[in-house]
């Protein structure tokens, strides 16, 4: 395996100093479930590994009237055991249950999943429909940006080499919203998505037409993406079968999948259509 | 450069020196001769390298030895006491849940962690708990039955 120097900063200030000094030659180690694989397979050969898990105060799930704040070191395990997230952000809860395996979920962090910026990251579609923001901090200061602006390409994101993601923020859900997540994979456990999808729906209470809907797709584009054209075909309409079908076809046109070992592009496109219909039906039937 | 560390494994403290890129599963198997923990995929997907870290089952092939400092590690060797099998081990033997045995240490540790958290799991909960451990021999049925018979 490649050689690297290893550091365990005891606080953020120490981490910032290391990242400022070593910049893009340093890898941040959180759960390690992606980083260790890349290092072992020599896909990534950092000269410095900065383990941030000993830094206190980065693993929490806090909810108040403004919404949810999760520390970047929150484990997927933590999410699957949070009644609060199960009740208020069910799409994120479902995604966490389907990510990896129980063993991986005991190590993998939410921040790490976002930093790896895989197009198929299971946490991304739910966080996108919930309008998540991420906080990035360095010795130069801090900034909070929409998750939508964070992903830039496969494995690429807006984080500067000296920044640490410290928190993921979600606004409080509007009382009547429903949300759902689906992941299509070859195996039920420990498999990357061929397509994953999340949707959040707010129905107008009096008449049952769609007041607002957000749909996000993963594994079908260079980044996890919102299907905004599909969304626009649904807002203000009664969600009957033909409207849903039209939205699914629109979502299909917005996706740009590749063929890989898990699925062909053609199959993925077809499944975008199928899953969009299914996830909207989930919301109407729940 | 070697870092001296102390690892707490099965209640014993091991003072060793490790390189930054030494992986926990290799240290356990090679330095410490605890070969009950197996190595297979090396990428955290098969579960054969499962150990308990502070009670939680994790893939030791994805953990740097340095990162295990200060954690309580339990390997399969830590389950039997004074030559007496742990109830899970006995159940696996009695139910025919062991064929080649390669997945067994990981399966038993994943099951132990489940029972520590949920003493009377249903079949779905058992299936989920072992969903990170692959078995090529048994088809899982006897493994699930063995775990079902062990109630805390």
**In this predicted model, what pLDDT tens digit does every residue of A111-161 receive, in sequence order?**
999 999 999 999 999 999 999 999 999 999 999 999 999 999 999 999 999
Quote the DSSP letter at residue B28: I
The reply to whether B21 touches chain A by the CB within 8 Å rule is: yes
The span from the CA of B43 to the CA of A194, in Å, is: 19
B63 touches A at CB < 8 Å:
yes
Q: Tell me which of A53, A103, A186 to substitute to probe the interface with B (most B C-beta atoms closer than 10 Å).
A: A103
Per this entry, what is the length of chain A? 286
So what's the pLDDT on residue A208?
Answer: 79
Burial class (CB in 10 A: 0-12, 13-18, 19+), A175: exposed
Q: State whether the Cα torsion A38-A40-A41-A46 is positive or negative.
A: positive
Contact A102 B110 (CB under 8 A): yes
Q: How far is CA A177 from the centre of its chain?
A: 19
**How far does A228 lie from chain B, in Å, by closest CA?**
35
CB contacts of B63 in chain A (<8 Å) are: 32, 36, 107
Contacts of B18 (CB under 8 A, 6+ apart): B2, B3, B5, B27, B31, B65, B66
Q: Does B67 contact A102 at a Cβ distance shorter than 8 Å?
A: no
* Cα angle, residue A61 at apex, residues A59 and A66 outer, rounded to 5°: 130
Determine the distance in angstroms separating the CA of A87 from the nearest CA of chain B, rounded to an integer.
20
Q: Please report the pLDDT score of residue A105 as a whole number.
A: 98
Judge residue B57's burial from the number of C-beta atoms within 10 Å of its C-beta, 0-12 exposed, 13-18 middle, 19 or more buried: buried
Quickly state the pLDDT bin for A254 (edges 50, 70, 90): very high
**C-alpha dihedral (A239, A241, A244, A250), degrees to nearest 10:** -140
Chain A residue numbers touching B21 (CB-CB < 8 A): 1-4, 39
The answer, yes or no, to whether residue A79 has pLDDT greater than 80, is yes
Question: Does the beta carbon of B110 lie under 8 angstroms from any beta carbon of chain A?
Answer: yes
Q: Does B39 touch chain A (CB under 8 A)?
A: no
CA gap A118, A216 in Å, rounded: 14
**Are the beta carbons of B62 and A29 separated by less than 8 Å?**
no
Q: Does residue B43 belong to the interface with chain A, where contact is any CB pair within 8 Å?
A: yes
Q: What is the DSSP string of A262-277?
A: S--HHHHHHHHHHHHH
Neighbouring residues of A278: CB distance < 8 A, sequence distance ≥ 6: A182
pLDDT beyond 60 at B152? no
Does the beta-carbon distance from A36 to B131 stay under 8 Å? no
Residues pairing with B58 in the sheet:
B51
CA atoms within 13 A on the CB side of B140: 13
pLDDT of residue A104: 98
Residue in A1, A40, A104 closest to B59 by CB: A104
pLDDT at A1: 64
What is the average pLDDT across A63-80?
Answer: 97
Closest CA to A109 of A183, A53, A68: A53
> What whole-number distance in Å separates Cα of residue B94 and Cα of residue B140?
15
State whether A103 and B132 contact (CB < 8 Å): yes
Q: Chain A contact for B59, CB < 8 A? A: yes
* A264 in contact with B, Cβ within 8 Å: no
Q: What is the pLDDT of residues A168-190, one digit of tens each?
A: 999 999 888 999 999 999 998 88
Distance CA A124, CA A193 (A): 12
Averaged over B53-77, what is the pLDDT?
Answer: 98
Q: Name the residue of chain B whose CA is nearest to A99's CA.
A: B132
């Amino acid at each position: 395996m490649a050689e690297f120097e290893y550091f365990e900063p005891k606080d953020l200030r120490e981490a910032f100093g290391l990242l400022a000094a070593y910049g893009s030659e340093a890898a941040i180690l959180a759960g390690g479930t992606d980083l260790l694989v890349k290092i072992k397979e020599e896909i990534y050969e950092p000269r410095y590994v900065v383990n941030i898990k000993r830094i206190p105060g980065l693993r929490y799930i806090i909810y108040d009237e403004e919404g949810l704040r999760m520390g970047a070191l929150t484990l997927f395990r933590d999410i699957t055991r949070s009644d609060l997230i199960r009740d208020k952000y069910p799409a994120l809860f479902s995604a966490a249950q389907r990510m990896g395996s129980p063993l991986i979920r005991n190590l993998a962090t939410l921040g790490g999943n976002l930093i790896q910026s895989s197009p198929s990251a299971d946490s991304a579609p739910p966080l996108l429909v919930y309008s998540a923001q991420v906080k990035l901090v360095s010795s130069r200061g801090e900034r909070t940006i929409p998750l939508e602006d964070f992903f830039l390409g496969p494995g690429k994101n807006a984080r500067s080499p000296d920044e640490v993601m410290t928190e993921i923020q979600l606004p409080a859900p509007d009382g009547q919203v429903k949300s759902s997540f689906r992941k299509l994979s070859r195996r039920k456990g420990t498999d990357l998505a061929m397509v994953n999808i999340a949707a959040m729906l707010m129905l107008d209470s009096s008449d049952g037409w769609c007041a607002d809907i957000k749909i996000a797709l993963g594994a079908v584009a260079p980044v996890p993406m919102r299907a905004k054209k599909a969304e626009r075909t649904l807002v203000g309409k009664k969600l009957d079968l033909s409207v849903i079908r039209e939205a699914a076809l629109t979502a299909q046109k917005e996706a740009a999948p590749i063929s890989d070992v898990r699925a062909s592009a053609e199959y993925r496109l077809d499944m975008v259509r199928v899953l969009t219909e299914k996830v909207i039906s989930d919301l109407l039937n729940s | 450069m070697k870092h001296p560390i102390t690892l707490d494994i099965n209640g014993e403290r091991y003072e060793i020196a490790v390189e930054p890129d030494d992986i926990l599963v290799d240290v356990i198997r090679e330095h410490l001769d605890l070969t009950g923990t197996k190595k297979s995929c090396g990428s955290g997907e098969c579960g054969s390298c499962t150990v308990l870290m502070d009670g939680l089952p994790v893939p030791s092939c994805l953990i740097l030895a340095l990162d295990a400092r200060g954690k309580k590690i339990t390997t399969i060797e830590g389950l039997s006491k004074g030559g007496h099998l742990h109830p899970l081990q006995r159940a696996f033997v009695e139910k025919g849940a062991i064929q080649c045995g390669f997945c067994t240490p990981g399966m038993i540790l994943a099951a132990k962690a489940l029972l520590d958290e949920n003493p009377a799991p249903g079949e779905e909960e058992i299936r989920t708990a072992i969903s990170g451990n692959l078995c090529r021999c048994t088809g899982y049925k006897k493994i699930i039955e063995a775990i079902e018979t062990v109630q805390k």
